[in-house]
Structure formats: structure tokens, C-alpha cells
């Protein structure tokens, strides 16, 4: 890739973040644009994307551009089939950008890109295999083998959040019941806290103006930091379920390391300690085998952009 820069772009519903990324995963120069939104035509979003790329490159030739999109990307990495906050529907984005930018272009969804970044430059670097679990509103993630994301036959792998952990359990937005993310996610954290604060004293009562429905994830995190027992119980439950679901993935795949990313992971060991305990309690043969370390992601909000750059710098994602 001599003679040019590799740019990674993370495009979400609100912003387009582009950056020149070195081979060692260091981000050299970034550029930010506002995402035009869903109501515009597709080409306007591409305009913003191209502008961010050229701004980041600052006149240097492009060796390649990788795109992390907040949407569903087909298994060939050519099209964005659907994106909740973007106007793309089956858009052949990879080829269109290739033509406009005149360089190789890679495309994958943001969760896969973030996982790829953690595998190469973050918490899973050096690992032969890894599972990356992204805890935000729900649970997403990726399986990495030999530094590559397992995308699945239809690009649908990594839907960890909808593995059933409780038969006939909590109703899920997906229409099923008992999905893992109903017990372990930002939403689950808030729901737990709201339910517990009804019967127990908690700083969340004051923080929310006495209205449980106004409790947010950051409030629960803040309350837990202040030692609030309701908030801490909410984290213990979400963390415990994180460990149970992780044990199922480890039984199936025996990864070298499990990385926890996403907004909820900012709580660190408050989330991870109960998860580690539950993993050890639930994983078959834990007394006699290597239990993989469960660690926090390292790259934060730049992970998607860094991983996007990897799409065009040698770490091709496998089908």
C-alpha cells in the first residue's frame, strides 16, 4: 500500500467519521461530516462520505477506502441492503465509491468492522480466535477466526442478542421471547433499575424526578458509581446474564478471548466481574479447561473506522 493513504469511514445515522489509518492501527487525521439523513436521496449520503474521505486524505493519493456502515451489508460486501437511519436499500455502494474514488473500496457493517479492529489492534490482538460482544441498546457481535470475521452464508452471523436464553421469557422487539438481549443490554439495565427502584431506596428516584420511566442508562451507571444498591443490582443481573450467554458461545466455539464492547461496557468490571463469575459457573468443564479471558474492548468509538481501514489493508473478511 505504498504511495497512498488508507482511509476508514464509519457512517452512522448522525455522523460520518473518516480517518487516515496507519498499518499499525493508529489514526492520523480525521474528518467529520453530518449524515444527511434518511429523507435525502442515496447519492447525497455518498457525497458526504466522499467529502469526508477527501478531507481526511488532505490531498494525498488514496491507496484504499474501507467503509463501516450502520446497516445490513450483503454477504459479498458489495451492497447495503437496508439501514434504519440511511436511505440505502440494496445500494451497490462498494462499486459506486470505487468509481468515484478511483481506488479499492471495502464495505462491511459497523459491528463487524469494530470487531475486526479489536482483533488486529485492540483487546483481541494476537488471538487466533475471538468473540466480540457489543452491548448497546441490544447485543450485537462477531466471531473472529484467524483475524477474520465469520460473516455467515448470508452475512447474518453475529446476531448473538437473539439467542434464546429463557424459554417463554421476556418479549423481544424481534417478535420472539426470551432473547439474550432482553436480559443483558442497555435496555435490560434500565428495565432492571426501574423495577428495583419501586421497592428500594435509590438515588435514581431523585435523578429521575421520581419517574422510573425517565431513568436512562447513563443515570444507572452514575448511580452505581455512587454506590447505589439498586443500580449495582441492575448491573449484577445484566453482567450475570452476559456471562451465561457468553458461556454458550464459548461451549460452541472455544475462542481464545472474549471482548466486550459497546456503550454498556464503559462500566468496566462492574459489568465484567459478575459476567466472569457466571461464565465460570455455566461453562461446561470450567474446572478442567482453559476458560477464555473476558476483557473490555480497547478502541472505543473509533473502532468502526479503524476496522473499516482493515478491510482494504490486507485483512479481508471471509465468508
- Binding-site ranges for a second copy (CB under 8 A): 127-129, 143, 145-146, 150-160, 162-167, 174, 176, 179, 244, 247-249, 251-256, 281-285, 289-290, 292, 318-319
* Residues 68 and 109: beta-carbon distance below 8 Å: yes
Q: State phi, psi for 167 to the nearest 5 degrees.
A: -60, 135
Instruction: Indicate the residue among 59 and 285 with the shorter CB distance to a second copy.
Output: 285
Instruction: Indicate the residue among 101 and 260 with the shorter CB distance to a second copy.
Output: 260
CA–CA gap between residue 105 and residue 234 (Å, rounded): 43
* 177-188 core/surface letters (b: 16 or more CB in 10 A; e: else): ebbbbbbbbbbb
- CB of residue 184 vs a second copy: minimum separation in angstroms? 13
CA–CA gap between residue 89 and residue 83 (Å, rounded): 7
- CB of residue 223 vs a second copy: minimum separation in angstroms? 27
CA–CA gap between residue 179 and residue 184 (Å, rounded): 9
- CB of residue 134 vs a second copy: minimum separation in angstroms? 13
- CB of residue 169 vs a second copy: minimum separation in angstroms? 9
Report which DSSP code applies to 298: S
- CB of residue 279 vs a second copy: minimum separation in angstroms? 11
Instruction: Indicate the residue among 164 and 233 with the shorter CB distance to a second copy.
Output: 164
Instruction: Indicate the residue among 168 and 199 with the shorter CB distance to a second copy.
Output: 168
* Residues 106 and 94: beta-carbon distance below 8 Å: yes
Instruction: Indicate the residue among 39 and 288 with the shorter CB distance to a second copy.
Output: 288
Residue 314: name the closest of 80, 4, 6, 3 by CA: 6
Amino acid at each position: 500500500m505504498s504511495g497512498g493513504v488508507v482511509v476508514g469511514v464509519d457512517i452512522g445515522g448522525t455522523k460520518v467519521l473518516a480517518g487516515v489509518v496507519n498499518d499499525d492501527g493508529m489514526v492520523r487525521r480525521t474528518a467529520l461530516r453530518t449524515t444527511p439523513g434518511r429523507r435525502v436521496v442515496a447519492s447525497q449520503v455518498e457525497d458526504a462520505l466522499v467529502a469526508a474521505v477527501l478531507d481526511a486524505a488532505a490531498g494525498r493519493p488514496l491507496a484504499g477506502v474501507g467503509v463501516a456502515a450502520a446497516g445490513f451489508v450483503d454477504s459479498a460486501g458489495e451492497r447495503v441492503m437496508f439501514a434504519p437511519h440511511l436511505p440505502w436499500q440494496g445500494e451497490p455502494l462498494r462499486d459506486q465509491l470505487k468509481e468515484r474514488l478511483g481506488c479499492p473500496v471495502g464495505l462491511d457493517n459497523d459491528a463487524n468492522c469494530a470487531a475486526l479492529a479489536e482483533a488486529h489492534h485492540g483487546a483481541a490482538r494476537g488471538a487466533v480466535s475471538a468473540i466480540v460482544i457489543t452491548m448497546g441498546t441490544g447485543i450485537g457481535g462477531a466471531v473472529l477466526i484467524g483475524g477474520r470475521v465469520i460473516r455467515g452464508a448470508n452475512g447474518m452471523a453475529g446476531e448473538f442478542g437473539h439467542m434464546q436464553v429463557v424459554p417463554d421469557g421476556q418479549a423481544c422487539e424481534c417478535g420472539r421471547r426470551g432473547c439474550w438481549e432482553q436480559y443483558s443490554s442497555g435496555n435490560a439495565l434500565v428495565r432492571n433499575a426501574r423495577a428495583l427502584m419501586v421497592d428500594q431506596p435509590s438515588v435514581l428516584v431523585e435523578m429521575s424526578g421520581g419517574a422510573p420511566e425517565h431513568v436512562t442508562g447513563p443515570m444507572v451507571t452514575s448511580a452505581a458509581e455512587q454506590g447505589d444498591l439498586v443500580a449495582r443490582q441492575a448491573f449484577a443481573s445484566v453482567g450475570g446474564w452476559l456471562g451465561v450467554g457468553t458461556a454458550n458461545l464459548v461451549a460452541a466455539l472455544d475462542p481464545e478471548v472474549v471482548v466486550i464492547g459497546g456503550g454498556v461496557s464503559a462500566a468496566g468490571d462492574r459489568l465484567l466481574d459478575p459476567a466472569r463469575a457466571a461464565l465460570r459457573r455455566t461453562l461446561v468443564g470450567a474446572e478442567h479447561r482453559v476458560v477464555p479471558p473476558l476483557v473490555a474492548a480497547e478502541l472505543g468509538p473509533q473502532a468502526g473506522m479503524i476496522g473499516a481501514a482493515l478491510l482494504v489493508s490486507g485483512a479481508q473478511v471471509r465468508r
